[in-house]
Every structure is written in C-alpha cells, then in structure tokens.
Amino acid sequence: MRILLCLLLFNLLVGCGSFEIKNGIYTQSEFIEYINSYLNDKEQYLGTKRVNFTIKMYFSDLKGTVLGTCFSETIKRPDKSTKIKKHIEIDLDFWNRSKDCEKKLVIYHELGHCDLEAEHIEEKLAIMNSDIGIVRYDFCRDDKKLIREFFNSAKDKN
C-alpha cells in the first residue's frame, strides 16, 4: 500500500508536468519559454515584468475551436476584502499539434486578457483578434510589429 501511494505521489508530481512560479504566474513548465518572452517584451515596451494579477496557467480539454481561455475568480477573505485570481486554460490538443509561433501567439493573447485586461479587437490584424487563424500567418512570419502594437495599445489604455 505504501509503495502504491508513493508511486501515485510521484506520478502526480512528475507525470502531469511540473508547476513553477514566474513573476506572479503559476504555470506548467511547458509554458515557461513563452511566458519569459512575454515578460521580456512587456518590460521592453511597458517598463515592467510584473503581472497585474496572480495567474495560474495550465492545460485543459477545451471544446470546439477554443484554443485558450482566461477567466477570473473572486475570493472573499475573512476580513471581507476580496482577491481576484485569474486562470488561463490552454487546449492540450492544440498545443501538441502547433508550431512554436502559434503557441506564442495564444499565450500572448490569453495573457493580454488576464494580465493587461485587453478585449478582443475584431476590425484589424492584431494579437487580440478573437480569430487567431487570421493573425497566425503574419505573426509566424514576423511577430515584432504585432507585439509592438499589442503592448503600445496596452500603454495607450492606461
């Protein structure tokens, strides 16, 4: 019985991807490369790597054409204050079949929602366009212009 419990614990710790904390983002290790890129670009354009909320990012089985999603959870504390926790779910099937640039695009898009509180932009080619398929080709060819516009629009909002 003890061996079975040890194996189960080992599988939970190693088999599901390890979690790390990166500047307020609690995440599975598979996302670290893309989070580092986001935080470095955020520092370059906005002057900070700090995220605005505690965010937990993990894989999920999302339905339909949804590649990723950001949602908030409000937690009431005993002193009646509240804390907002944000979650990002990334579809595992999408992740396993995607190129690096597509993964990066979805991570930036979802962090745009959760960290920068950005809304969708439908009328132009932008990271925050809800149809990632429209943006994917240009982003994968040369992401620098779209990333600059992404952070500049966040700067203009504040």
Beta-strand relationship, 25-28 and 54-60: parallel
Average pLDDT, integer, range 18-40: 87
Is 47 part of a structural domain of the chain? yes
Helix (H) / strand (E) element for 76: namely: strand 68-76
Is 151 contained in some domain?
A: yes
74-85 pLDDT, tens digit each: 888 899 888 888
The CATH number covering residue 133 comes to: 3.40.390
- pLDDT tens, 97-144? 999 999 999 999 999 999 999 999 988 899 999 998 889 999 999 999
> With 70 as the cut, is the pLDDT of residue 1 above it?
no
HSE-CB at 135 with a 13 A cutoff on CA atoms is: 28
- Report pTM: 0.85
Domain count, the chain: 1
Residue 31 lies in a domain: yes
